[in-house]
């Protein structure tokens, strides 16, 4: 029996070509098939999600209420922190800058008034209007030079960096030129120029000089009351209680808030007049005269 005729040469070539399409180079396994070590070379495409599964996945991808709330609270705290930082910067730094400008202008205005001979006689009762500058105070040990204005109004006097004379109503005290009495002044200890910040460092004998249009008044620090109630107005009496003074004289009282950065209590420093020197005779020794 004759064998069945085999395929022709052309057919054999086409069959060989079809069989080699799924192989890698040099007859390797088809793409996507496992190798001899069992490692897959490509993953099959994932099956598409059903509509229900897609909805569940979308809900899971959204932030929970707790996450959203915590994020909002965090942003709120950050904003609050920035605002507080700006407020502290304003209080501790910028108010001092503004007060420095105010006191420079006030000092120049006072000295200009004196130079023109237009100042009021400070020995006359009520000679100065509230907020009007009339003297300059020097505390050499603390390197303090601060204008003194009438009254203790915060917006008109103290917050402008000046020291304020207790000169109104029941708190009215003497002027430096008075032959007897207590010249009492208030000043900020912190912020707004803080002229009395370090008066706690004064010691008995340290000079405090007040310059007016007519004279220099030199006081010597005598005693200090580290803390007392704001309602204790006896500290500015003509003979201030707690000062150690026992008879009428010519005194000075400095008052300021304490502890620092609070207004809970008052710190008091007292001094006694030791020299009255006309301005025409030049500066006193305490100011290098």
Q: Half-sphere exposure of 163 toward its Cβ, with a 13 Å CA cutoff?
A: 27
Is 21 a known active-site residue?
Answer: no
SS3 assignment, position 51? helix
Residue 182 CB partners (closer than 8 Å, separation 6+): 173, 174, 236, 237, 238, 239, 240, 251, 252, 253
Which of 250, 257, 272, 277 is an active site residue? 257
Catalytic site includes residue 197: no
Q: What 3-state DSSP class applies to 79? A: helix
- Residue (of 205, 202, 185) closest to 256 by Cα position: 185
Q: Quick check: is 257 catalytic? A: yes
Residue among 188, 189, 192, 272 flagged as catalytic: 188
Peptide bond into 128 cis (omega under 30): no
In this structure, are strands 144-150 and 181-186 parallel, antiparallel, or unpaired? Answer: unpaired
Options 250, 266, 272, 277, the catalytic residue:
266
Report the phi/psi class of residue 269: left, alpha or beta, with left for phi > 0 and alpha for psi in -120 to 50.
Answer: beta
Which sequence positions are flagged as catalytic?
A: 188, 257, 266
């Amino acid at each position: 029996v004759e064998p069945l005729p085999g395929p022709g040469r052309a057919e054999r070539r086409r069959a060989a070509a079809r069989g080699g399409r799924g192989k890698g180079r040099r007859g390797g396994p088809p793409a996507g098939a496992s190798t001899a070590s069992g490692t897959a070379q490509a993953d099959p495409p994932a099956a598409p999600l059903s509509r229900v599964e897609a909805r569940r996945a979308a809900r899971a991808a959204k932030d929970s209420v707790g996450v959203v709330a915590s994020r909002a609270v965090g942003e709120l705290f950050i904003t609050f922190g920035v605002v507080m930082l700006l407020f502290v910067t304003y209080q501790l730094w910028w108010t001092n800058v503004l007060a420095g400008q105010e006191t420079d202008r006030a000092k120049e205005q006072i000295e200009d008034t004196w130079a023109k001979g237009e100042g009021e006689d400070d020995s006359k009762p009520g000679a100065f209007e509230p907020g009007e500058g009339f003297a300059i105070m020097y505390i050499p040990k603390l390197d303090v030079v601060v204008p003194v204005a009438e009254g203790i109004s915060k917006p008109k006097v103290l917050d402008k960096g000046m020291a304020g004379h207790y000169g109104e109503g029941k708190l009215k005290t003497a002027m430096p030129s008075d032959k007897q009495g207590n010249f009492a002044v208030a000043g900020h200890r912190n912020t707004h120029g803080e002229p009395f910040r370090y008066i706690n460092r004064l010691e008995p004998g340290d000079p405090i000089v007040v310059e007016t249009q007519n004279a220099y008044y030199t006081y010597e620090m005598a005693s200090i009351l580290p803390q007392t109630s704001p309602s204790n107005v006896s500290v500015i009496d003509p003979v201030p209680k707690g000062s150690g003074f026992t008879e009428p004289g010519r005194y000075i009282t400095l008052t300021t808030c304490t502890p620092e950065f609070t207004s809970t209590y008052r710190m008091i420093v007292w001094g006694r007049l030791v020299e009255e020197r006309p301005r025409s005779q030049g500066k006193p020794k305490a100011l290098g005269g």
